[in-house]
Amino acid sequence: MRTIYFLDDGPCLGDSLIDFLQLYGYAVQFFDNPAQLAAGMAEAVPDAVILGASQQPLAEHMPALADLVPRDAAGQTRCPLIITADQQDFAARLAAVRAGAAAFLGQPVDPQTLLERLDELTDMQPPQPFRILLVEDDPVMGQVYLAALTQAGMQVRSIADPTLVIEAIHDSDPDLLITDLNMPQCSGLELAAVIRSHADLTALPIVFLTGDAGQDSRRSAVNLGSDAFLTKPVQLGDLVETARARARRARALRALMVRDSLTGTLNHGSIKEMLVSELGRVRREGDALCLAMIDIDHFKQVNDSRGHASGDRVIKSLARLLRQNLRRSDHIGRYGGEEFAIILPRTPLADAQRRLDALRVQFAQLVQPHRIGDFRVTFSAGIVQDDGQAEAGTLIEAADAALYAAKRAGRNRVVVG
């Protein structure tokens, strides 16, 4: 359970909201006054702090409360601070920013919105290291750059031969390519042109390193989609910060292209591409793979009786449950509407069935809050195991057939195909 400290000058979080947060792994500890909160902070720093201002002007009330949240040497809070307030104008939001708040929510607090922000701010999983492909024909400088980027926490693959770059890109799937501009076998500009001739690599960020600061080279690099241009001798700090910033932006842009906007899971096309990729990998390595298709039961009734906004919240709650309980090596995609596809690499069929059935039970227990009355929903699932020969489309059809068998059998169950 993740611990949340909460202090408010009036009623803000009701019992139903507390129960709702607990279902998703959050334990809320209330404090009656600032002194109690300070004492709690002295004992243990929580995963997040929620400070509420229901009855007093935020600009006057918040600075003293925000000072109770421990901060590092740079003045940043050591745990995320969420501020809720009745007052939601510019002055209130500015006061929250000055207090160091990571999020500002109006009152009454919407349960789903609060949960989403808590998930974002208290994510326990460290981000995957940025993947960098370095092309440098000078072995000495290649090692220097490799060491600096690796020490900064990045995964770096270094090659000296530019003719191997396409193969290396497909093998390592880099977030960023860093290349020397002046290489005897193939210049950096020529290399970039070759890369851009591949339709699937037109968006790969490229950073050029060169001792030639001429404007012609810079213009040519820009025309080929250069993201940055570092002049030698390259300051290693500049190299690291440039690589980190460009890789972070590239990863964010990629997420927008491959992820479903509602749930944050892979979109329809991306989950199908991932299945093709994973099938190839597990077959090369001799591992098992299972594919599950799950669908929310009686979803149309939810939309009809409680509205499409409520239906969207149900879909998001299922996506969140899947993300929280599946492994990082598993892949979740919104296949369409209320249907999700789950790829489970290195998972025997019996284990996949057990895990999906446990998720089915958990989801059925979740309370879905609504103004006309809380409710619960269930899902049905179909699972198949890769036989080592079937194409991705055939595997999807088989999992779908198992899913519809679960629907015909009465719903709220997992069927193996």
The pLDDT value recorded for residue 4 is 92
125 Cβ partners below 8 Å, 6+ apart? 328
In this prediction, residue 10 carries a pLDDT of 63
- Beta 339-345 vs 331-336: how paired, if at all? antiparallel
- Output the pLDDT for position 160: 93
Residues 386, 393 contacting (CB under 8 angstroms): no
The dihedral sign for the CA sequence 272, 274, 275, 277: positive
Q: What is the pLDDT of residue 256?
A: 81
The pLDDT value recorded for residue 382 is: 98
Say how far apart CA 122 and CA 44 lie, in whole Å: 16
Q: According to the model, what pLDDT value does residue 19 have?
A: 77
Domains and CATH numbers, the chain: 2-121 (3.40.50.2300), 131-257 (3.40.50.2300), 268-416 (3.30.70.270)
What pTM did the predictor assign? 0.67
pLDDT in tens, the chain (417 residues): 889 998 876 655 566 677 778 878 888 888 888 888 888 988 998 999 988 876 566 666 666 667 777 777 666 777 888 988 888 889 888 888 888 888 999 888 888 788 888 988 887 566 789 999 999 989 999 999 999 999 999 999 999 999 999 999 988 889 999 998 888 888 888 898 899 899 888 889 999 988 765 656 666 666 656 677 888 889 999 999 999 999 999 888 888 888 898 998 999 999 999 999 999 989 988 899 999 999 999 999 999 999 998 999 999 999 989 988 899 899 999 999 999 999 999 999 999 999 999 999 999 998 888 888 889 999 999 999 999 889 999 999 999 999 999 999 999 999 998
CA 134 to chain CA centroid, Å, is 26
